[in-house]
Structure 1
């Protein structure tokens, strides 16, 4: 399915269906499986199924699903040397997507393991939130699988074929169609033919190709510092369950990043002012945690993660205790700064009926609280990550988190 059509459908689902549907609640405390793999943030359920021997056996024994695996292999085998032809051969078609949905929902009726994964990893994860208001488990599964197929296709188009991403900074690492691109795709084709020769799983080649193309482009942005709960955020996460939320007006103070403009320094000077401003607010006791959000974005192909630099600055220059700082190191834009922060809040048990503060420069807060920003969230993510409650002076605003933020954004692989 075309990614623009998918986004339109997602927008419609979030904007209108929620007037009527009863969404099934995601599991508070849910831990993503293999969050250190970028694909886990993009095509989650397919990756989870690939980790279940029982489900893989059931899929491999289905005649129609095996036929799709064979079709993809033959397309790849018959593709030429052009990178676009190779990448196009790996895309699952709309007809194949419908057949996959038909056969997988058939398998669901007799598979305890597949049903358990549906309950735990589709509904429980929240990654498919906008589909959980559908009328049956079969329809939820069909929609989740279609979402994953669209996500894999989008990765293959952008990081295999070299199609233009939403933002140029997220483009492939080589000249599209140039010598390096052609060489890498030819060699990828040979490798994929080896991988797919014996596979009977419909998703093997698209899933492996998507991970391969992300790796060849050094695109690990969705998974840096994962698992967060065992690294940079471990000490802060341990304090969450014992936090007396009633002592604080707000659940957290989110500081928005300001993309660095050179490779030598991890923070933009304007970002330092934002951090110092937020630190003073935090010291007043407004919230128990300060969250810093910013990924590997600017400059192009930087290896610096902005949120990590923000945390170091708050500790060293502003005197904020490190166990009160939570990093969100994956967001690439203001939209996902807020959305990804809400994801952390929901999964870690923050009270969802308690507002949080977003902090930045005056002009940035102007933008966040504008109708244009809400329209941008709908356009780029297909959802509103929060309710925009009120302005709190020049540098702060009060927001209320919304659990639909857990939904994966299939149109933007690095910022899903």
Structure 2
């Protein structure tokens, strides 16, 4: 939502001209200025100036609600862009003004979470792969945080949330944690050929819409593709050559080992093309997932966004243990971590092949996974 506000000039003007939100920006900027003068080497002091307190979140919620009226730019943005995006699907049962409040609260929590992990060094959900890249007790670290803080006072940051959002984004940048943007926009890069093929495909001629191959990251820093990744590719290629589906989706980001430069999906795509002679137009890359939960969620997202049939079964192929996990355990974990089920189970075909049906609820943004929200 915050990005939509930045991009929609009518909404941006409405927010900039609002006296309450303008006063909020002045107050936030004053706190940051004070932090630069007085925090010295206290990291928590800096982050407190940028995080949104509960009172601040409530203040903004109330003001956004007061600005939300029929025939206003905010109302139009919500109904024509924000709600159809699916990014806040968990709140779809609420009235539009409540969706607006929930979207703001979710985005504020996302900024707070990012600052907590990538500035303060709080533990992320998966510390072994997603932790901060700095020793927060190092004598030189406060200077990095202070410099980042000073950059947030840029005069171009004239919306109430922009100093905090910039501070969080630069924290991700200096941690070399921009994985969420890898290969974007994918429709013009790694998935350009397959998207073009999707538009011409008669899905009715196939039993399944696609074959999903989840990745497995190597544990050695210089290994591009793990043995498990190769075997998953071969299992997927075997099904593809049987003609059961027109596409293979390879799923997995830059995950293992910690801060690896290799993308599981990209290396799997190369292996499918170079070793197994699968045409690029038949391979869809999903290079952002960091867990099995998001292998399934992100697959559903791409299928929806690329116009693939959501009511048709898809096939996931992987090693026996992971396939069993997807069938017997993963849905409960998804409910716990994501708040919904990103897929519905179908039939088991073999120890390594399993049907699933994608759920468009997967478009919902995950506020506490900034590397793959």
Scaled by the length of structure 1, the TM-score of the pair is: 0.85
Deviation at 1:200, TM superposition (A): 4.5
Query: 172, 175, 190: which is aligned to 2:135?
Result: 175
Residue aligning to 2:101: 142
Residue aligning to 1:317: 275
**Distance verdict in 2 for CA 1:199–1:342, change over 3 Å:** closer
Matched, 1:53 2:13: no
Q: 1:391–1:398: 8 Å Cα contact kept in structure 2? A: yes
Matched, 1:100 2:57: no
Deviates more, 1:285-294 or 1:66-75: 66-75
Residue aligning to 1:333: 291
Matched, 1:71 2:27: yes
Q: 2:251–2:287: 8 Å Cα contact kept in structure 1? A: yes
Q: 2:236–2:317: 8 Å Cα contact kept in structure 1? A: yes
Tell me how far apart the structure 2 counterparts of residues 121 and 304 of structure 1 sit (CA, whole Å): 34
Q: Which runs of 5+ in 1 are unaligned?
A: 1-44
Query: 160, 163, 167: which is aligned to 2:119?
Result: 160
Q: 2:254–2:262: 8 Å Cα contact kept in structure 1? A: yes
Tell me how far apart the structure 1 counterparts of residues 266 and 280 of structure 2 sit (CA, whole Å): 11
For residues 248-289 of structure 1, the C-alpha deviation after alignment (integer angstroms, 9 at most, x for no partner) is: 111110001011222322110121111111111111011111
4+ runs deviating over 6 angstroms: none
For residues 387-413 of structure 1, the C-alpha deviation after alignment (integer angstroms, 9 at most, x for no partner) is: 012222011111011110000011211
Q: 1:70–1:200: 8 Å Cα contact kept in structure 2? A: no
Deviates more, 1:250-259 or 1:94-103: 94-103
Deviation at 1:199, TM superposition (A): 4.9
Provide the secondary structure at the position in 2 that maps to 1:86. Answer: helix
Deviation at 1:56, TM superposition (A): 2.0
- Cα RMSD (Å): 1.5
For residues 124-160 of structure 1, the C-alpha deviation after alignment (integer angstroms, 9 at most, x for no partner) is: 11111111211x2211111111111111111111112
More RCO (CA 8 Å, sep 6+): 1
Tell me how far apart the structure 1 counterparts of residues 331 and 137 of structure 2 sit (CA, whole Å): 37
**Aligned counterparts, 1:238-317, within 5 A:** 238-317=196-275
For residues 46-88 of structure 1, the C-alpha deviation after alignment (integer angstroms, 9 at most, x for no partner) is: 0121123322221122222122212222222222121121012
Query: 102, 121, 125: which is aligned to 2:81?
Result: 121
Tell me how far apart the structure 2 counterparts of residues 291 and 378 of structure 1 sit (CA, whole Å): 23
Provide the secondary structure at the position in 2 that maps to 1:367. Answer: helix
Tell me how far apart the structure 2 counterparts of residues 328 and 179 of structure 1 sit (CA, whole Å): 39
Deviation at 1:300, TM superposition (A): 1.1
Tell me how far apart the structure 2 counterparts of residues 211 and 303 of structure 1 sit (CA, whole Å): 20
**Distance verdict in 2 for CA 1:227–1:85, change over 3 Å:** same
Deviates more, 1:172-181 or 1:241-250: 172-181
Tell me how far apart the structure 2 counterparts of residues 53 and 274 of structure 1 sit (CA, whole Å): 47
Q: 1:288–1:324: 8 Å Cα contact kept in structure 2? A: yes
Tell me how far apart the structure 1 counterparts of residues 347 and 259 of structure 2 sit (CA, whole Å): 36
Q: 1:83–1:177: 8 Å Cα contact kept in structure 2? A: no
**Distance verdict in 2 for CA 1:310–1:180, change over 3 Å:** farther
Residue aligning to 1:131: 91
Q: 2:149–2:167: 8 Å Cα contact kept in structure 1? A: no
Q: 2:297–2:342: 8 Å Cα contact kept in structure 1? A: yes
For residues 193-219 of structure 1, the C-alpha deviation after alignment (integer angstroms, 9 at most, x for no partner) is: x326x8542101111111111111111
Query: 332, 336, 340: which is aligned to 1:383?
Result: 340
Deviates more, 1:280-289 or 1:74-83: 74-83
Deviates more, 1:66-75 or 1:89-98: 66-75
Query: 363, 366, 375: which is aligned to 2:321?
Result: 363
Tell me how far apart the structure 2 counterparts of residues 111 and 183 of structure 1 sit (CA, whole Å): 47
Provide the secondary structure at the position in 2 that maps to 1:364. Answer: helix
Q: 2:207–2:245: 8 Å Cα contact kept in structure 1? A: yes
Provide the secondary structure at the position in 2 that maps to 1:225. Answer: coil
Q: 1:130–1:404: 8 Å Cα contact kept in structure 2? A: yes
Tell me how far apart the structure 2 counterparts of residues 54 and 160 of structure 1 sit (CA, whole Å): 33
Matched, 1:195 2:181: no
